[in-house]
Amino acid sequence: MSDCLFCRIARKEISANVVYEDESVLAFHDINPQAPVHVVIIPKAHTDTMNTAAPEVYPSLFAAVSTVAEKLGIRESGYRVVINCGANSGMMVSHLHLHLLGGKKLSNTLC
């Protein structure tokens, strides 16, 4: 999708503070972090939500979570992964993405 914010970041039309990239996934620091470590992990190919994603998308996304957590030093201390799906979830960009949060003890208010 040409006007999708995350597609534009994946195509390098908009700069981002990238922490991980492979052929199918891009991970970058969130511009409005909710924790000391807050990274957004996206598939490079556009898909709106979990409901429309091809099943083969998920292994690379979840592998990236562990890799990024290790790279940023939060793998052992713990982290949270959040996936919003649809307008009522608070999803702000219609492109499947995971939020990786950590770097401090997170509250239990969500889970």
Give the list of residues 6+ apart from residue 101 with CB closer than 8 angstroms, or none: 34, 35, 37, 38, 79, 80, 81, 82
Q: Exactly one of 29, 38, 95, 97 is catalytic; name it.
A: 97
**Residue 98: enclosing H or E segment and its boundaries?**
strand 98-102
The answer to whether residue 97 is catalytic is yes
Please count the other Cβ atoms lying within 10 Å of the Cβ belonging to residue 71: 13
Q: Residues with catalytic annotation? A: 97
